[in-house]
Amino acid sequence: MSSSIPFIALTMAFLTSAPPANASVAEPPPEKVTLYPQADDARERIDAALARAKADNTRVMIQWGDDWCGWCVKLHELCGKDRAISRKLLYDYEVVLVPVGQFDRNLDIATSYEADFKSNGVPFLTVLDADGTVITNQETGSLEVDGAHDPAKVMAFLTQHQAAPRDAATSLKQALESSKASGRPVMLHFGAPWCGWCHRLEAWMAEPPVKAILARHLVDCKIDTDRDTGGKAIFEAYTRGESTGIPWFVFLAGDGRTLASSDGPDGNVGFPSTDGEIGAFTTALKKADPTFTDAEIDTLSKSLVANRKAREAKAKAAREARAAEEPIKKEGP
């Protein structure tokens, strides 16, 4: 059942009424659910999701709701626990949770997408294509059955509105044609939705200073080995069936000749992280296009080192936070 303002008011009145005489007052309150980011950055998060959707040929699904909404929590939990739905979202959608407050937040964004969650309640779903055009707006009451969201109905909704798969051969052909016209080699890189290092590589390539340098020298072509039609076959053709992980990339001339690849002295560099991998990557860049300047190579190298240090610092902070929690858990209440 979607939540609305009258429902909230009735619920709050019930919760604030006097408890029965034999009610327990010693029980701790339930742990507060925190799902919806409360910072005023919804537009920025949607724009970032659209950029990723553009690169990956996916859709953006906005889930309007808030932490007070039990049905929003139920839908979120279903999406995480149901394996088929979880995989569908991973492969075909960028999900953005947008808080509605007491139906008084992010109304300008909702209006721009004609998302009428005030009338329909929340959770409410808006699906966008990679250009930001609304594919559909969906109330979720019709997706419910027996006090929960029906996995079959949710899956049918997601399948109906997913993007049509790209044809890998067509993507590569277009990239090679662009290479012939511009004189820039193609950077053909392979990834998959489940590949964390692939996402790190693509996020790094999308950073404005990095993107500007790469765009001056290379034609970008990504092929998804899982989602793009014929993607795995093209990957195996370039790797000659040899066992290699992803991300894996190869630099191609406009006529299809291989100029360099991510196979360094110690194997596939993937997303360059160690000093050796970064060195192998920049060597491949210069081999693919000798017009990369020393200053550009230095900028890219320093950016990769900074990326590594940021990941290491984040991992260290997480370890320290877990270590700090351990004594509390051992002591108990």
Write out residues in the chain with pLDDT < 50, as ranges: 5-28
- Give domain status of residue 102, yes or no: yes
Contacts of residue 130, defined as CB under 8 A and 6 or more positions apart, other chains included, come to 50, 53, 54, 57, 58, 59, 60, 163
> 183 and 112 in one domain?
no
> 145 and 62 in one domain?
yes
pLDDT for position 58: 98
pLDDT for position 241: 76
> 142 and 89 in one domain?
yes
β-strand partners of 99 = 65
> 275 and 177 in one domain?
yes
pLDDT for position 25: 44
pLDDT for position 262: 95
> Which residues constitute the domain of residue 46?
32-161
Output the domain CATH number for residue 289. 3.40.30.10
- Give domain status of residue 305, yes or no: yes
**Overall domain count for the chain:** 2
* CA 62/CA 179 separation, integer angstroms: 36
- Give domain status of residue 76, yes or no: yes
- Give domain status of residue 242, yes or no: yes
Contacts of residue 76, defined as CB under 8 A and 6 or more positions apart, other chains included, come to 35, 63, 97
pLDDT for position 5: 46
- Report the 3 state secondary structure along the chain: CCECHHHHHHHHHHHHCCCCCCCCCCCCCCCCCCCCCCCCCHHHHHHHHHHHHHHHCCEEEEEEECCCCHHHHHHHHHHHHCHHHHHHHHHHEEEEEEECCCCCCCHHHHHHCCCCHHHHCECEEEEECCCCCEEEEEECHHHEECCEECHHHHHHHHHHHCCCCCEHHHHHHHHHHHHHHHCCCEEEEEECCCCHHHHHHHHHHHCHHHHHHHHHHCEEEEEECCCCECHHHHHHHHHCCCCCCCCEEEEECCCCCEEEECEECCEECCCCCCHHHHHHHHHHHHHHCCCCCHHHHHHHHHHHHHHHHHHHHHHHHHHHHHHHHHHHHHHCC
pLDDT for position 267: 92
Per-residue burial over 218-228, b = 16 or more CB atoms within 10 Å of its CB, e = otherwise: bbbbbbbbebb
pLDDT for position 14: 37
Q: Tell me the pTM.
A: 0.84
> 203 and 131 in one domain?
no
Q: Is the dihedral of CA 18, 103, 61, 32 positive or negative?
A: negative
pLDDT for position 26: 47
> 256 and 184 in one domain?
yes
> 239 and 146 in one domain?
no
